[in-house]
Amino acid sequence: MNPISMKHLRYFEALARLQHFGRAAEACAISQPALSLQIKELEEILGSPLVERGSKQIHLTGFGEIFAARAHDILRAVDDLEDLARASRRPLSGRLRLGVIPTVAPYYLPAAIKTLTLHFPHLDLHPREAVTQTLIAELAAGRLDTALVALPVSEPGLFETPLFDEDFLLVRPAADAALPPPGLDTLPDLRLLLLEEGHCFRDQAISFCRIPAARSKDLMEGSSLGTLVQMVGAGIGVTLIPEMAVPVESRAAPVSIVALPAPPPSRTIGLVWRKTPPLARHLNAIAEALRTAGRPGG
């Protein structure tokens, strides 16, 4: 009988996490039939079923739930050993799994990669773009080493270090360029376009504009800052974007960009990572390199 392999554990961990053969296969970069074969082989080795297969989703058996928890612990321990090996090298080298939120990735990631490549030429960066909630979950599970997010995240198991601050700017149709910027008291009356739920930038904009929770559900939404700016250019409403997005997005549509009266809305961008990884010392060095480089356009 074949022994249980790390491949078995990683494939089953993905299936247990995503509860879907297709999505798990995609996450593991293999075909769905290949994943199904590996899971079936693991069940034969164990002599007990791990999943109840349905037409669309799967459910873990009672034994599958217990096995998933133990497999997760084993994979975390193996990842920690790999981190320990990487942490022993000088200079910092090898794989670094870096998460980035969508309102940062298109505008800051190229400069961040350039800075890190300059300071740590042997670093093998693996960026991963996702919303904050997903990145935090993947950090906690050991699938990411660190993430660029808006602070604070206020997670007990994560260490946070700020990199830079940036203001939010108001995007209006080009025809409104000569108008004075609206005051804070009039912002809730404007037709505000926001990112869809799940983006922390949406929550920050709602908080700054003092929009009641009930009304926030009726606001027009877009999937990206670029989409929102295009909607503004079409005359549908106004939106807020972070400073780093202005050079890219202001060229994409006929819009005008204006700063809001003091104190303007702003956010702090920083790195977060688990409080006790072997890589903590190196992650501090990475944060310092990014902090020295400053914010985009700064």
pLDDT tens by residue, 232-246: 999 998 999 999 999
| pLDDT number for residue 243 | 94
Please state the domain count of the chain: 3
| pLDDT number for residue 204 | 82
| pLDDT number for residue 107 | 94
For residues 49 and 182, membership in a common domain is answered with no
For residues 160 and 118, membership in a common domain is answered with yes
For residues 286 and 140, membership in a common domain is answered with yes
Confidence of residue 117 (pLDDT cuts 50, 70, 90): very high
State the residue range of the domain holding 286.
91-164+269-293
Quote the mean pLDDT of the chain: 86
Is residue 298 pLDDT above 70, yes or no?
A: no
Confidence of residue 80 (pLDDT cuts 50, 70, 90): confident
Is residue 57 pLDDT above 90, yes or no?
A: no
For residues 120 and 46, membership in a common domain is answered with no
**62: in domain:** yes
Residues 211-229, mean pLDDT to the nearest whole number: 74
Confidence of residue 218 (pLDDT cuts 50, 70, 90): low
Burial class (CB in 10 A: 0-12, 13-18, 19+), 119: middle
Residue 59 CA from chain centroid, whole number: 27
Is residue 231 pLDDT above 90, yes or no?
A: yes
Instruction: List the CATH number of the domain containing 159.
Output: 3.40.190.10
Which of the two residues, 216 and 73, has the higher pLDDT score?
73
| pLDDT number for residue 290 | 94
Tens digits of per-residue pLDDT, 142-161? 889 999 999 999 888 899 99
For residues 201 and 273, membership in a common domain is answered with no
| pLDDT number for residue 277 | 67
Is residue 217 pLDDT above 60, yes or no?
A: no
